[in-house]
């Protein structure tokens, strides 16, 4: 019995070291595979209860696992959609086959890195078909509220390279100097005109025409008073605002706005220095400067000079590039200089990353051992951030694997020697009776 147990222990040792050799071979073979997590073999002894004065060898057991929580070094690339997770967390991905079905079911898998590029339909996926997923943004670029304990709200990230966009104008800052001589007795009283471009909701160029009409006094002196009338080209020249402005002529404050009286349009806010007009496409805030500030509209000297006309909004632009920031926001950049958020890539965290089930192409799926998932904003909670222009290198240490390879070879040879010795001893036993 004792000799037989030695034989069984030797066989168990051969099998255990063969498993360890398999993990080493896999690790070395994937030493240049981005995102690869090394596999390890752990040995544990098997004890068989022996009687008094005897000992039976139990042998060895082997368990293998993949160290998914062990990160690899980050390598820089020249592709904006090469992504890697720096720190804790996983990117949500799905498989190429799920894009081909028509039921819209996208199984959730996890990855720590990926070289994503747009395919013929604009989906961001790797050469092996692993497809990036994220939460789609609303039309205004905001991210709606999604459940954090499930991946049901995630969709494959699709970039429309033929996408167009525009931004309507919502604010105009008027910086104009009005000639003080036009409000003096005997002046002509001729209105001064200024056209200010704005963009409507469809990105079309429209104009707000501003007419500055001086009030000419009937007796010698100066009124320092102007009436500004704003009309909208998109509304067939309809008046959208009219205001009477009196300028200060005292020492130290001369030329600044003293008071503004609303004739029509939104009320003037003397602190913010703005009023709101409603054009054909919606409201626009017009800033003319606060009372006494000297900013915006002024009345100085004898020259009419638009000093500063600022506005937001933009015409229609073409998509030129896409990038992903550290917080996982996918932003589309347009040739008119604007940027729009189109997706957010959350990072998935779970209690036991090593309990994940490994799949091909360095992706993983959850199991009972991994625990339940939670989707965090990148850089929030326990998760790290998303690094673009980077890939995670293999976690394999080739030098360490080669060292273990030598140890495994020696252990395998030693176990084979045990089997050879047991065979010789059994042969001696059979030779007792001849």
Per-residue pLDDT at 338:
82
Identify whether residues 147 and 128 lie together within a single domain. yes
Helices (H), 30-121: 96-100
Identify whether residues 180 and 305 lie together within a single domain. yes
Q: Which residues contact 233 (CB under 8 A, 6 or more apart)?
A: 206, 207, 208, 209
Instruction: State the Cα–Cα distance between residues 46 and 49, nearest whole angstrom.
Output: 10
Domain range spanning residue 121?
A: 76-162+322-392
Per-residue pLDDT at 1:
55
Residue 96 lies in a domain: yes
DSSP string, 254-311: TTSEEEEEEEESSPPBTTTTEEEEEETTEEEEEE---TTS--SEEE-TT--EEEEEEE
Residue 249 lies in a domain: yes
Identify whether residues 252 and 298 lie together within a single domain. yes
Per-residue pLDDT at 166:
75
Q: Supply 205's token pair.
A: 């160029």
Identify whether residues 195 and 271 lie together within a single domain. yes
What confidence tens digit (pLDDT) does each residue in 392-420 have? Answer: 999 999 999 999 999 999 999 998 998 88
Instruction: State the Cα–Cα distance between residues 360 and 200, nearest whole angstrom.
Output: 50
Residue 341 lies in a domain: yes
Instruction: State the Cα–Cα distance between residues 94 and 152, nearest whole angstrom.
Output: 12
Identify whether residues 177 and 293 lie together within a single domain. yes
Residue 327 lies in a domain: yes
Among 312, 338, 363, the domain boundary falls at 312
DSSP string, 379-432: TSTT--EEEESEEEPP---HHHHHHHHHHHHHHHHHHHHHHHHHHHHHHHHHTS
Q: Is the pTM of this model over 0.75?
A: no
Residue 277 near residue 284, CB atoms below 8 Å: yes
Identify whether residues 9 and 144 lie together within a single domain. no
Residue 317 lies in a domain: no
Identify whether residues 424 and 365 lie together within a single domain. no
Q: Supply 265's token pair.
A: 């349009």
Tell me the CATH number at 244: 2.60.98.20
Residue 415 lies in a domain: yes
Per-residue pLDDT at 71:
92
Identify whether residues 384 and 275 lie together within a single domain. no
Per-residue pLDDT at 59:
81
Per-residue pLDDT at 51:
65
Identify whether residues 185 and 307 lie together within a single domain. yes
Instruction: State the Cα–Cα distance between residues 358 and 95, nearest whole angstrom.
Output: 14
Per-residue pLDDT at 115:
95
pLDDT averaged over 10-residue windows placed end to end, the chain, 434 residues = 78 91 94 94 81 76 91 94 95 88 82 93 92 91 91 90 78 95 92 94 91 94 95 94 95 92 94 94 94 92 91 83 93 85 94 94 93 93 94 95 94 90 84 75
Residue 113 lies in a domain: yes
Q: How many CB atoms lie within 10 A of CB 325?
A: 16
What confidence tens digit (pLDDT) does each residue in 144-197 have? Answer: 999 999 988 999 999 887 667 778 999 999 999 999 999 999 999 999 999 999
Instruction: State the Cα–Cα distance between residues 347 and 83, nearest whole angstrom.
Output: 12
Placement of tokens 């500063």 in the chain: 308
Q: CA nearest 76: which of 118, 113, 120, 23? A: 113
Placement of tokens 């390279």 in the chain: 161
Identify whether residues 154 and 182 lie together within a single domain. no
Placement of tokens 């167009």 in the chain: 164
Identify whether residues 118 and 151 lie together within a single domain. yes
Give how many domains the chain has, as a whole number.
Answer: 3
Identify whether residues 307 and 176 lie together within a single domain. yes
Helix (H, G, I), strand (E, B) or coil at 160: coil
């Amino acid at each position: 019995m004792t000799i037989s147990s030695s034989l069984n222990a030797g066989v168990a040792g051969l099998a255990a070291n063969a498993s360890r050799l398999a993990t080493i071979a896999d690790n070395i073979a994937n030493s240049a595979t981005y995102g690869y997590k090394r596999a390890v073999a752990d040995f544990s002894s098997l004890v068989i209860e022996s009687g008094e004065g005897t000992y039976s060898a139990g042998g060895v057991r082997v368990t293998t696992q993949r160290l998914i929580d062990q990160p690899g070094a980050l390598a820089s690339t020249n592709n904006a959609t090469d992504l890697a997770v720096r720190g804790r967390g996983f990117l949500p991905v799905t498989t190429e086959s799920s894009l081909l079905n028509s039921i819209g079911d996208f199984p959730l898998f996890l990855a720590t890195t990926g070289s994503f590029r747009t395919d013929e339909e604009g989906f961001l996926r790797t050469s092996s078909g692993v497809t990036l997923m994220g939460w789609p943004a609303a039309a205004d670029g905001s991210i709606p509220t999604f459940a954090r304990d499930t991946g049901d709200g995630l969709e494959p990230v699709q970039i429309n390279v033929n996408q167009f966009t525009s931004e309507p104008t919502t604010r105009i800052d008027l910086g104009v100097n009005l000639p003080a001589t036009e409000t003096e007795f005997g002046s002509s009283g001729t209105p001064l005109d200024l056209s200010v471009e704005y963009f409507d909701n469809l990105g079309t160029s429209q104009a707000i025409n501003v007419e500055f009409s001086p009030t000419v006094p009937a007796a010698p002196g100066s009124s320092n008073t102007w009436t500004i009338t704003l009309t909208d080209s998109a509304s067939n020249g309809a008046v959208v605002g009219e205001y009477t402005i009196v300028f200060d002529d005292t020492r130290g404050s001369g030329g600044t706005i003293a008071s503004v009286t609303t004739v029509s349009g939104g009320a003037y806010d003397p602190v913010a220095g703005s009023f709101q007009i409603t054009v054909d496409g919606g409201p626009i805030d017009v800033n003319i400067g606060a009372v006494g500030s000297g900013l915006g509209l002024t009345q100085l000297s004898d020259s009419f000079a638009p000093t500063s006309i600022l506005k937001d909004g933009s015409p229609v632009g073409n998509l030129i590039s896409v990038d992903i920031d550290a917080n996982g926001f996918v932003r589309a950049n347009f040739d008119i200089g604007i940027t729009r958020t189109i997706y957010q890539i959350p990072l998935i965290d779970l209690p036991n990353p090593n309990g994940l089930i490994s799949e091909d192409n360095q992706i993983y799926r959850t199991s009972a051992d991994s625990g339940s998932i939670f989707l965090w904003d990148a850089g929030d909670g326990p998760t790290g951030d998303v690094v673009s222009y980077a890939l995670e290198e293999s976690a394999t240490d080739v030098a360490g694997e080669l060292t273990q390879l030598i140890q495994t070879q020696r252990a395998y040879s030693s176990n084979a020697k045990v089997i050879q010795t047991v065979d010789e001893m059994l042969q001696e036993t059979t030779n007792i009776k001849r």
